[in-house]
């Protein structure tokens, strides 16, 4: 899709606003040239040591001791750092307070970190770490959520959300279906692995470079482990080489481990995980297991639903509570659930502690209701699109979610029907059926699925942000905010927002590194809210500077401040036009403040965490995708042939970046549901821990026909620039791939109701053979 070429004319001079048009990512040229600095590129301070983790070889057991003598005998090794070296709390400062900094007393998963080896160089540290001996009395591990549920082993108490009487509705329903299935986890596979670099400063102060989505939490965790106040620790992050949720909490582990080592040795310490260790130590997307019982009428409209969700959380809570909560919130996706009972069990297993991942539980909620829609359609012999349309939220009625939030901005029906028309969905469905009748081996399938994704942190307190805008005497502008850049274009969008607020060219604005000493207590860059929160805070900061300048110029020209315009690098009144630079210089000479802070809190949101009722989201982002696939019935291999997407980003701040997020999110979701399979053996060893065994989508997996269009309507809520969040919602559009594969299996005479995700070749073949 080509971005609109939006231009304005000011005093016969045409200029292009910074926001609303496509432009390069602010770091694109530096990244292409290899000049963009990541943490491992920062020149090392003299005396820097390197650490490597010492990982448990057993999934569950009683820890009797750790012997590092062989490692310490290796030349260049300085120390083994363990739990006894922690000066502060030995438990990480996570909200559940249930995860040790280093293993203590017991081992909870294979790969759990019991300490560090610190050496002169990274390879020596890694070799030495593998010489450390563990003394563990092995116990039987719990490896599946079904096992944990049977033992009532949970990291957090179960949660139940109900509306109406689901059991009675099921009894009255003309038709019922029951089913069970599983969806796997997903490795984040960020290009830049987890890394932290910690420097001791004077007077018990610390500087931490961390590849993190949440510098404020890293600051809190490090200070807690060192027994210091937060103000003694500064955390900086200029950019990450990908995050996807995997660096929301779990970047904090590395920073704490490196800080404990630096504290003991009084020297800078860098800790960078290699890819295998990253796989073995860090958490993944939460795997889910489901059981559902659904009632429906002859049109396929739902009458009642009972749904059990078993969430594989791993050995500690991490972010499992809010992830599982969001799965409950999104179990409706686009559909009205009148009589419903949802039961969520947060299961404790002896695996890595699973964590945030793009969508944050939303995909695991959406996929179950989309699967149910497909099953109902096949049971009734109807087109799945018609069943989906019959169940959509309404405008005047049937418009309140099962958690009592009114859906006020509903564009589902027009968006879906427009996509069905422009993609030729119904004609293609008929053509596919005819094609399949004459093709004995290759079968095709097609599906159209929507998404309705709530935007805001479900933990209401995190929906706040701060920013600083500085205007320098040469007219250049610097903006700093609490968000973090991980390739998603946040800094590019924020700079554009500030540029338009001040009426200056985009190139005059520089976004700087996230830094806890500049904007304190910032929330994680997550929940797709980075631009919504930080962009608005930066806009407010820039607005205050503009108002200061407007009052100054109004005084010079004898006009009202509201009549002063800032456009195209000029400051304009009815009496005179001045350059931006001249106004800034004159304002400085007259002692006018040229910097300001800005603060934003999301309005309207509220909900009761105990009852799970209220308005947890400011608005919804919508979209839909049509996907066509082909499967080989002899091997189970599959290929995505065509993808058509119509997605709602409101009034786009940067269409090129938004379309890139839509494409990337879809492909990542496609990987989750087709090739990215995590396999633990019976001893709790993650066997898919490298690119050789864990397959993310490659360029050859991208369909030749991949069309993305943007819905033209601005956000109906008062959001920055009229935009909507775009980071996470497109991920769930890839559920159309899974449903299209199930359609192909059904057209081949298989059992699509038996298929789990990811739909690997083996899984497709199993469903084709009716197992």
Tell me, what's the pLDDT at 206?
Answer: 98
pLDDT at 662 over 80: yes
| Angle made by CA atoms 229, 231, 235, in degrees to the nearest 5 | 115
Active site (catalytic) residues? 728
d(CA 477, CA 508): 6
Q: Which is it for the CA torsion 163, 168, 174, 180, positive or negative?
A: positive
Give the C-alpha separation, 712 to 699, whole Å: 30
The pLDDT value given to residue 225: 98
323-348 mean pLDDT:
98
Q: 3-class secondary structure for 354-378?
A: CCCCCCCCHHHHHHHHHHHHHHHHH
Give the pLDDT confidence score for residue 771 in this predicted structure: 77
How many C-beta atoms surround the C-beta of residue 23 within 10 A? 22
**Closest among 399, 23, 324, 306 to 155, alpha carbons compared:** 324
50 Cβ contact partners less than 8 Å away, ≥ 6 residues apart = 118, 119, 120, 121, 122, 124, 125, 269, 270, 271, 272
Longest Cα–Cα distance in the chain: 85
Distance, CA of 678 to CA of 694 (rounded, Å):
7
Q: What average pLDDT does the structure give for the chain?
A: 97
* pLDDT tens digit sequence for 609-632: 999 999 999 999 999 999 999 999
pLDDT one-digit tens code per residue, 99-136: 999 999 999 999 999 999 999 999 999 999 999 999 99
What letter does residue 545 receive in the DSSP assignment? H
* CA distances in angstroms from 195 to 42, 271, 272, 370, listed in the order given: 12, 6, 4, 38
3-state helix, strand, coil in the chain (%, to 5): 35, 25, 40
pLDDT at 6 over 70: no
Q: What is the DSSP string of 159-207?
A: EEEEES-HHHHHHH-SEEEEEEEEE-------SS--EEEEEE-GGG-EE
Cα–Cα distance for residue pair 401/124, rounded to 1 Å: 56
Cis status, amide bond into 758, omega within 30 of 0: yes
Distance CA 320, CA 326 (A): 10
The closest of 452, 496, 767, 416 to 657, measured between CA atoms, is 496
CA distance 209 to 337: 46
Nearest to 308 by CA among 323, 328, 322: 328
Q: Give me the mean pLDDT over the 80-103 stretch.
A: 97
Q: What is the pTM of this model?
A: 0.96
Residue of 365, 394, 429, 436 lying closest to 735 (CA atoms): 365
Q: Which two tokens stand for residue 118?
A: 């610190």
- Closest Cα partner for 490 from 730, 187, 723, 707? 723
Q: Residue 532 has what DSSP assignment? A: I
Nearest-angstrom CA–CA distance, 458 and 356: 13
Residue found under tokens 């939460």: 286
User: What would the DSSP string read from start to end of 631-678?
Assistant: EETTT--EEEEEEEEEE--BS-S-HHHHHHHHHHHHHHHHHHHHT---
DSSP string for residues in 328-360:
HHTSSTTB--SSEEEEEEEEE-SS------TTT
Confidence of residue 16 (pLDDT cuts 50, 70, 90): confident
Average pLDDT over residues 643-654: 98
> Do residues 259 and 118 lie in contact, with contact meaning Cβ atoms separated by under 8 Å?
no
Ramachandran class of 456: left when φ > 0, alpha when ψ lies in -120 to 50, beta otherwise: left
- How confident is the model over 458-467, as a mean pLDDT? 96
- Strand ordering across the sheet containing 113-119: 77-81, 113-119, 49-55, 269-272, 195-200, 206-210, 233-237, 514-515
Specify the 3-state DSSP secondary structure of 580.
helix
- Which residue shows structure tokens 């094609």? 435
pLDDT band at 2 (very low <50, low <70, confident <90, very high): very low
Beta bridge partners of 479: 469, 511
Instruction: Supply the pLDDT for residue 14.
Output: 55
Judge contact between 377 and 300, C-beta under 8 A.
yes
Q: CA-CA distance, 356 to 629, in Å (whole number)?
A: 29
Q: What is the pLDDT of residues 582-599, one digit of tens each?
A: 999 999 999 999 999 999
Q: Do residues 390 and 300 touch, judged by C-beta distance below 8 A?
A: yes
pLDDT at 317 over 80: yes
Handedness of CA 757, 763, 765, 769 (dihedral sign): negative
Strand 705-710 relative to strand 638-647: parallel, antiparallel, unpaired?
parallel
Q: What is the spatial distance between Cα 581 and Cα 551, in angstroms, rounded to a whole number? A: 16
> Predicted confidence band at 336 (pLDDT cuts at 50, 70, 90)?
very high
Give, as one character, the DSSP assignment of residue 100. Answer: B
Any idea of the CA torsion for 530, 531, 535, 536, to the nearest 10 degrees?
A: -90
Decide if 688 contacts 694 (C-beta within 8 A): yes
Phi, psi of 22 (to 5 degrees): -75, 135
Q: What is the pLDDT of residue 3?
A: 40
Q: Which of 213, 232, 236 is nearest to 223 (CA)?
A: 232
What is the share, in percent, of the chain residues with pLDDT greater than 70?
98
In this predicted model, what pLDDT tens digit does every residue of 167-212 receive, in sequence order?
999 999 999 999 999 999 999 999 999 999 999 999 999 999 999 9
- How much is the pLDDT for 15? 67
């Amino acid at each position: 899709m080509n971005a609109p070429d939006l231009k304005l004319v000011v005093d016969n001079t045409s200029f292009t606003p910074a926001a609303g048009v496509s432009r390069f990512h602010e770091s694109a040229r530096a990244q292409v040239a290899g000049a963009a600095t990541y943490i491992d590129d920062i020149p090392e301070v003299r005396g820097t040591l390197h650490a490597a983790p010492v990982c448990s070889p057993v999934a569950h057991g009683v820890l009797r001791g750790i012997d590092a003598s062989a490692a310490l005998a290796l030349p260049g090794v300085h120390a083994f750092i363990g739990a006894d070296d922690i000066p502060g709390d030995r438990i990480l400062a996570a909200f559940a307070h249930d995860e040790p900094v280093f293993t203590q007393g017991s081992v909870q998963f294979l790969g759990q970190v019991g300490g560090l080896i610190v050496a002169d160089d990274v390879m020596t540290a890694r070799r030495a770490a593998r010489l450390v001996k563990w003394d563990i009395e092995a116990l039987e591990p719990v490896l599946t959520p079904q096992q944990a549920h049977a033992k009532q082993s949970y990291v957090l108490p179960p949660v139940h959300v109900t509306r109406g009487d689901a059991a009675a509705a099921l009894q009255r329903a003309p038709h019922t279906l029951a089913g069970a299935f599983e969806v796997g986890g997903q490795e984040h596979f960020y290009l830049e692995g987890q890394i932290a670099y910690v420097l001791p400063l004077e007077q018990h102060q610390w500087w931490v470079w961390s590849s993190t989505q949440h510098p404020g939490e890293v600051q809190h965790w490090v200070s807690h482990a060192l027994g210091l106040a937060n103000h003694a620790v500064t955390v900086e992050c200029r950019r990450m080489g990908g995050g996807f949720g995997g660096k929301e909490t779990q970047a904090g582990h590395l920073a704490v481990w490196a800080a404990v080592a630096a504290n003991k040795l009084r020297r800078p310490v860098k800790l960078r995980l290699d890819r295998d260790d990253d796989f073995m130590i860090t958490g993944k997307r939460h795997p889910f297991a489901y059981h559902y019982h659904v009632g429906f009428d002859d049109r396929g409209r739902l009458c009642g639903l009972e749904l059990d969700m078993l969430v594989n959380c791993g050995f500690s809570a991490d972010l499992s509570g809010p992830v599982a909560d969001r799965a409950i919130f999104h179990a409706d996706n686009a559909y009205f659930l009148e009589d419903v009972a949802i039961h969520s069990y947060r299961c404790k297993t002896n695996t890595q502690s699973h964590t945030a991942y793009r969508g944050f539980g939303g995909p695991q909620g959406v996929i179950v209701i989309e699967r149910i829609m497909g099953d109902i359609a096949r049971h009734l012999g109807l087109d799945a699109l018609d069943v989906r349309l019959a169940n959509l939220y309404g405008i005047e009625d049937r418009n309140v979610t099962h958690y009592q939030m009114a859906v006020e901005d509903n564009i589902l029906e027009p968006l879906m029907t427009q996509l069905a028309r422009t993609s030729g969905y119904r004609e293609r469905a008929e053509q596919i059926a005819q094609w399949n009748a004459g093709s004995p081996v290759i079968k095709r399938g097609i599906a159209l699925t929507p998404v309705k994704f709530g935007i805001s942190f479900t933990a209401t307190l995190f929906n706040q942000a701060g920013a600083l805008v500085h205007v320098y005497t040469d007219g250049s502008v610097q903006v700093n905010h609490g968000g973090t850049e991980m390739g998603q274009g946040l800094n590019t969008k924020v700079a554009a927002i500030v540029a338009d607020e001040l009426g200056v060219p985009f190139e005059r604005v520089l976004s700087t590194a996230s830094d806890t000493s500049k904007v304190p207590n910032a929330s994680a860059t997550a929940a797709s809210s980075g631009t919504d929160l930080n962009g608005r805070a930066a806009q407010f900061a820039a607005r205050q500077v503009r108002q200061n300048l407007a009052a100054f110029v109004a005084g010079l020209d004898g006009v009202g401040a509201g009549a002063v315009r800032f456009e195209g690098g000029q400051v304009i009144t009815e009496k005179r036009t001045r350059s931006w630079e001249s106004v800034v210089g004159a304002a400085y000479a007259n002692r006018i403040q040229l910097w300001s802070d800005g603060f934003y809190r999301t309005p309207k949101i509220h909900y009761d965490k105990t009852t799970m009722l209220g308005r947890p989201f400011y608005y919804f982002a919508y979209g839909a995708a049509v996907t066509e696939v082909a499967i080989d019935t002899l091997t189970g291999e599959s290929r995505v042939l065509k993808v058509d997407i119509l997605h709602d980003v409101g009034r786009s701040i940067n269409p090129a970046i938004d379309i890139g997020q839509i494409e990337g999110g879809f492909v990542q979701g496609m990987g989750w549901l087709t090739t990215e399979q995590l396999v633990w053996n019976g001893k709790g060893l993650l066997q898919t821990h490298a690119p050789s065994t864990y397959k993310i989508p490659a360029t050859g997996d991208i369909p030749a026909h991949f069309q993305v269009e943007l819905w033209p309507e601005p956000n109906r809520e008062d959001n920055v620039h009229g935009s909507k969040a775009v980071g996470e919602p497109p991920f769930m559009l890839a559920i159309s791939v899974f449903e299209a594969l199930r359609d192909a299996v059904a057209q081949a005479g298989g059992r699509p109701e038996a298929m789990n995700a990811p739909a690997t070749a083996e899984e497709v073949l199993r469903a084709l053979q009716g197992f």
